[in-house]
Amino acid sequence: MKFVDEYRDPTLLRQQLTLLRQLATRRWVVMDVCGGQTHSLLRHGLEEALDDCLDLVHGPGCPVCVTPAEVIDDAVALAFRPNVVLTSFGDMLRVPGRSGSLLQARAAGANVRTVYSPADAVCMAEKEPNVQFVFFGVGFETTAPATALAVLQARQLGLTNFSVLAHHVRVEPAMRALLELPDNRIQGFLAAGHVCTVTGFAHYSQLVDEFQIPIVVTGFEPLDLLNGLIECVRLLEAGSPGLRNEYVRSARPEGNPHARRLMDSVYQVSTIPWRGFGLIREGGLTMRSNLAEFDARQQFELAASTLSNEGDCRSGDVMAGRIKPSECPLFGKACTPDSPVGAPMVSSEGTCAAYFRYAKPVEICHD
Amino acid sequence: MCLGIPGRVASWVERDPLMAAAEIDFGGVKKRCQMACVPDAREGDYVLVHAGIALTIIDVEAAERLVTTLNRLDEVPGEESSS
Amino acid sequence: MTDHNNGETWFTCPIVSHDEGDRITLAYGEGGRLSRKLIRERLLSRFGNDHLRQLGDAALLPTKSGQIAFSTDAYTVTPLFFPGGDIGKLAVFGTVNDLAVSGAIPRWLSLSLVIEEGLVWSVLDRILDSVQAAATLANVSIVTGDTKVVPRGAVDQIFLTTSGIGEILLPAPVGPVGLQLDDVLIVSGPIGCHGAAVLCAREQLDFDPTPTSDCAPLTTPLVALHAAGLVPRAVRDATRGGVAAVLHEWADASHLTCVIDDASVPVGDEVRVICELLGLDPLNLANEGTFVLATPVGLVEQTLAVLGQHAVTARSAIIGRLHPRRIAPVTIVRAIGREVVLDEPSGSPLPRIC
């Protein structure tokens, strides 16, 4: 596959890995804020290969993990309503709310359908006008344009049976919130390449200046990740924080104006709760009031989302980079992918699940 | 963030600004994707697709330049990579 | 009310309507005249053989060797029809393959149908036609069976169960407990096709070309291996849970670790692309015409040569070998040269955007 295979070339990967190891003179603490990057680092063995060289921590980059349990409860409740079909990305199906997951709800008779794209939910709504379709819209700014487009398409088509239960989150405020923590130890950021493809990254220079920290826009393939880390380490070694783009083929400083226009016409920036974190200032997107007929919260009279205590789950500490999943007392014992205590163990992109899957110790004899 | 896969614009199917759609060829497998965010994409361009929506036109020159540079690094150790 | 049936006149109850047009009704599952009609018209007409025509409770079957293999499986797949197959074909080849990988020549199947009232006759006919074609291809006979019709909602359209008997060819594969250090792991072809096909059909993901199930009988190449004196250590068709599930089972039984090489695992282009787009791992997707085989290192070349002579196994490939037990039961070596854990699949794979 073009623009995929080249970035997995073993020779280039080994070359860049060697270069990175040569460059790093200290075990710098670098954070990624994207579940996809976490997944890729672990799956391709990069994290393990760099363990003695860098301290890679994984931030709240999994939108599935930061969706409050109460919002999942709202989705489950809607799915049980007569004449309502709840459509969702597959990612959300296994994540438990306070009273079970969407998958469990489906087994109990709730009407839940997986879709690959919100546009598919709009098509379904068009074909089945007597059924109310709700799309469960989670995700960062990468996904928000898609759900915004779905709303606008539904409006153009004159649909009266389509709405979105939205809980979109914004990455940059979360990065700021992490940097503002008194015990913050993050020294460099890999910025989420696909979020930046939409939002651009010029505005990250504020964070760079304010916190004197390098931020490198990074992609997802192993070679992209290595290039991002190399650039980040270069800046750290030189003591000169800066903003760099190592995902040039996709991310531009101004982002995609069409995508941003779609988002702006449907959503407004707001302060919303993140599971495991609490309220993040301007950390989310909620639907504009002039589109109330497409807002499931308005249509079905749901209360605004809140947060409750989640007992022993230390997802907040994990996502802030304070502890590695393996340092959580529940990890691998009371909390496993089959019996998760918190969201990061359920979602395939959750840090805890990724650690459980890929980072179990393996005794290796290198050839 | 997240799963974004590059594919080639094989043929435009719908040009309405909101309903814009095209057949995107991912390494031989075609799927219809939403194109409202890339109205200027031409057939033959590569786009990045996430959740069924094309988010950007891939800068092919930049992509190829990077790989070429990295391949040449093998010949000249210590040279800076482009950013 | 009279009914003229084969020239005879019968008095029939006017309440029971036995001609519901295009759909089956509960009456056909009651065991009486209508059940016999269903069996005569739709089953005997397709599978008729001396054993089945006896319509006894069990079929008495002669064997040459003293050992027979016996297997059973239920089939509940949705959608009923998907690219490359359907529930009928699956029901035959699934049980045939369970027998074949056990070292037997599959001979006789039973076929049990549990049908939801209201199923359209033409759908049932299409499934039964497929069962017939598959049985012919696999060289097995349907010798006994059962049909039930249940109220709407009791099953999802139709469930099939096939039990199968095959004649063991001795020596048979020892099985995973007999796996040894350095045994080589081979897959018989590109993986993940069936899982991808059913997922795309069920979730209505429109890809062009659409992935096609690999549903096929595996008897011939396995019999050929036996004939060439190349009995494998263990063979398993990689159904639910995919190749990853088989490797975990084998690691568990043998107390060794299966180490496979990412670059060596054969994956077709369509499956690969779809897995990239949906965030799935082909190693976790089901196969219905592909097996995993373990064989001593000394037999590998000849084994691949024999497999290469049969269309269904022509693209067999070495994917790894058995190593001393590490902490992880199954590991995979990635492009970068690092070995990482390959987790055991649990739950059906769901497409993701993250």
Q: Quick: pLDDT tens for B37-68.
A: 999 999 999 999 999 999 999 999 988 888 88
Superfamily assignment of A67-169+255-299 in CATH? HypD, alpha/beta domain 2 (3.40.50.11740)
Average pLDDT value over all residues in chain C = 88
Amino acid residing at A57: V
How high is the pLDDT of residue B82? 40
Amino acid residing at C35: S
User: Would you place residue C262 in the very low, low, confident or very high pLDDT band (cuts 50, 70, 90)?
Assistant: very high
Asked whether the predicted pLDDT for residue C116 surpasses 60, the reply is yes
The residue extents of the domains of chain C are 26-168, 176-341
Rounded CA-CA distance A353/B1 in Å is 17
- The residue ranges of chain A whose pLDDT is under 50 are 364-367
* Cβ–Cβ contact B67 with A under 8 A: yes
Residue B67: closest C-alpha in chain A: A6
Asked whether the predicted pLDDT for residue C295 surpasses 80, the reply is yes
Scanning chain C, the segments in alpha helix (DSSP H) are 33-38, 45-47, 50-54, 87-101, 121-138, 193-202, 219-227, 242-254, 269-278, 300-307
Residue B57: closest C-alpha in chain A: A250
How high is the pLDDT of residue B68? 84
The residue extents of the domains of chain B are 5-58
DSSP for C213-247, written as a single string: ------HHHHHHHHHTT---SEEEE--TTHHHHHH
CA distance C189 to chain B (A): 20
How high is the pLDDT of residue A294? 97
Mind listing the pLDDT tens digit for each residue in C272-287? 999 999 989 999 999 9
Nearest to B29 among C209, C279, C352 (CB): C209
- Tell me which long-range contacts A325-332 makes (C-beta under 8 A, separation of at least 24): A325/A351, A325/A352, A325/A355, A325/A356, A326/A355, A326/A359, A328/A352, A331/A355, A331/A356, A332/A356
How high is the pLDDT of residue A91? 85
Half-sphere exposure (CA, 13 Å, Cβ side) for A192?
A: 32
Neighbours of C125 (CB within 10 A): 12
How high is the pLDDT of residue B71? 81
Flag if C277 and B2 touch (Cβ within 8 Å).
no
Flag if C274 and B2 touch (Cβ within 8 Å).
no
How high is the pLDDT of residue C2? 35
Residues of chain A with CATH 3.40.50.11750: 5-63+172-243
How high is the pLDDT of residue B83? 39
Flag if A231 and B83 touch (Cβ within 8 Å).
yes
Asked whether the predicted pLDDT for residue C6 surpasses 80, the reply is no
Nearest to A91 among C276, C331, C353 (CB): C353
Nearest to A76 by CA among A348, A339, A296: A296
Question: Maximum distance among all alpha carbons in chain C?
Answer: 80
DSSP letter at C42 equals: I
Flag if A3 and B81 touch (Cβ within 8 Å).
no
Q: How many contacts (CB atoms, under 8 Å) link B and C?
A: 40
Q: How many contacts (CB atoms, under 8 Å) link A and C?
A: 104
How high is the pLDDT of residue A148? 98
Phi, psi at A199, each rounded to 5° = -85, -15
How high is the pLDDT of residue C62? 72
Phi, psi at A119, each rounded to 5° = -60, -30
Superfamily assignment of C176-341 in CATH? PurM-like C-terminal domain (3.90.650.10)
- What residues have CB less than 8 Å from C29, skipping those under 6 apart? C35, C115, C147, C148, C149, C150
Nearest to A241 by CA among A250, A251, A231: A231
Query: How much of chain C is in helix, strand and coil states, percent to nearest 5?
Result: 35, 25, 40
Rounded CA-CA distance A253/A204 in Å is 10
How high is the pLDDT of residue C4? 37
ipTM value for the complex: 0.89
Phi, psi at C221, each rounded to 5° = -65, -35
Rounded CA-CA distance C335/A223 in Å is 11
Look-up: residue for tokens 């487009």? Answer: A149
Look-up: residue for tokens 């040894």? Answer: C180
How high is the pLDDT of residue A359? 62
Asked whether the predicted pLDDT for residue C304 surpasses 60, the reply is yes
How high is the pLDDT of residue A323? 76
Give the CA distances from residue C52 to residues C42, C108, C128, in Å, rounded to whole numbers and listed in that order.
Answer: 13, 10, 15
Superfamily assignment of C26-168 in CATH? PurM-like, N-terminal domain (3.30.1330.10)
How high is the pLDDT of residue A314? 74
Q: Quick one: fold of B5-58?
A: SH3 type barrels. (2.30.30)
Nearest to B1 among A12, A61, A245 (CB): A61
Superfamily assignment of A5-63+172-243 in CATH? HypD, alpha/beta domain 1 (3.40.50.11750)
How high is the pLDDT of residue A358? 65
Rounded CA-CA distance A115/A97 in Å is 20
User: Would you place residue C336 in the very low, low, confident or very high pLDDT band (cuts 50, 70, 90)?
Assistant: confident
Chains that touch B (3 or more CB pairs under 8 A): A, C
